[in-house]
């Protein structure tokens, strides 16, 4: 099951090849996003839009905040 | 939003899925690098003075005053040991009875801004409301720092 991680854990995972996905709307991604993040908004997240992600490597998702 | 995305990825066959639930706001709160069209625009998180003094609820005002002014400040933020903001002490509050506690004299629940608020916009709002300084906090209420209006104004002038 998905696990919540902290900022420190995120930085550690990114150093080990994790894939980072911003699930905010595309315009918010365009405005600002974390370095190396790709954009797959939640509303279009499906098998097609995630086809470019590796299933054998960690994936980290994020949005704006806890809400 | 991100919890739903994480579960959706799991349903699609991804076996190692993590949710950075604190998200972009937390990342920006720590002044970490960002990319995008607004990456060069200063935010309140960028300009907040992170060395603003803090104290605990039970500390005596006399000791708080001495420490705060020795550091060149007229404000002290009352926080938990995890830096969650509980209140604010300003100049005249610090001059009260030195045996009073920070809890007795603090202004509870001060207004805070999110770290990713554009500094120029924050400066405009501060001028409208006659506010000279404001606190910047993470989404879960932890202190990032204190933003002075003159710092926000400088950012606004540079952007115009």
Which of the given ranges, B53-62, B114-123, B136-145, has the highest pLDDT on average?
Answer: B53-62
Residues of chain B with pLDDT > 90, as a percent, come to: 76
Domain range spanning residue A13?
A: 7-62
To which residue do tokens 């500094």 refer? B119
Does A14 fall in a domain?
A: yes
Taking only the tens place, the pLDDT of each residue in B18-55 is 999 999 988 988 889 999 998 888 999 989 999 999 99
Domain range spanning residue B88?
A: 30-159
- Contact at CB, B25 and A64, closer than 8 angstroms: yes
* B115 compared with A35, residue with greater pLDDT: A35
CA–CA gap between residue A5 and residue B2 (Å, rounded): 12
The tokens of B14 are what? 């991804």
- Contact at CB, A65 and B23, closer than 8 angstroms: yes
The tokens of A6 are what? 């902290």
Judge if ipTM > 0.90: yes
- Contact at CB, B18 and A9, closer than 8 angstroms: yes
Does B41 fall in a domain?
A: yes
Phi, psi of B75 (to 5 degrees): -130, 145
CA–CA gap between residue B155 and residue B47 (Å, rounded): 9
Which residues in A lie closer than 8 A to residue B4 (C-beta atoms)?
Answer: 42
Does A2 fall in a domain?
A: no
Residue A42: exposure state from Cβ atoms within 10 A (0-12, 13-18, ≥19) = middle
- What pTM did the predictor assign? 0.79
Structural domain count, chain B: 1
Which residues in A lie closer than 8 A to residue B15 (C-beta atoms)?
Answer: 55-56
Does B103 fall in a domain?
A: yes
């Amino acid at each position: 099951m998905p696990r919540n991680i902290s900022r420190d854990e995120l930085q550690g995972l990114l150093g080990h090849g994790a894939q980072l996905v911003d699930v905010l709307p595309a315009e918010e991604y365009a405005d600002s996003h974390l370095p190396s993040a790709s954009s797959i908004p939640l509303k279009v997240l499906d098998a097609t839009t995630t086809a470019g992600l590796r299933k054998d490597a960690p994936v980290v998702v994020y949005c704006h905040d806890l809400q | 939003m991100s919890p739903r995305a994480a579960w959706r990825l799991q349903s699609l066959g991804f076996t190692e899925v993590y949710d950075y639930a604190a998200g972009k706001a937390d990342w920006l709160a720590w002044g970490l690098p960002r990319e995008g069209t607004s990456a060069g625009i200063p935010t309140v998180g960028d300009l907040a003075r992170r060395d603003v003094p803090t104290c605990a609820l039970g500390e005596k005002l006399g000791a708080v005053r001495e420490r705060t002014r020795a550091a060149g400040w007229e404000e002290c933020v009352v926080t938990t040991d995890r830096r969650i903001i509980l209140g604010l002490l300003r100049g005249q509050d610090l001059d009260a009875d030195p045996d009073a506690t920070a809890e007795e004299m603090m202004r509870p629940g001060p207004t805070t801004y999110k770290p990713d608020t554009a500094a120029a916009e924050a400066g405009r709002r501060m001028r409208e409301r006659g506010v000279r300084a404001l606190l910047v906090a993470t989404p879960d209420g932890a202190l990032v720092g204190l933003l002075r209006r003159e710092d926000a104004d400088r950012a606004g002038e540079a952007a115009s």
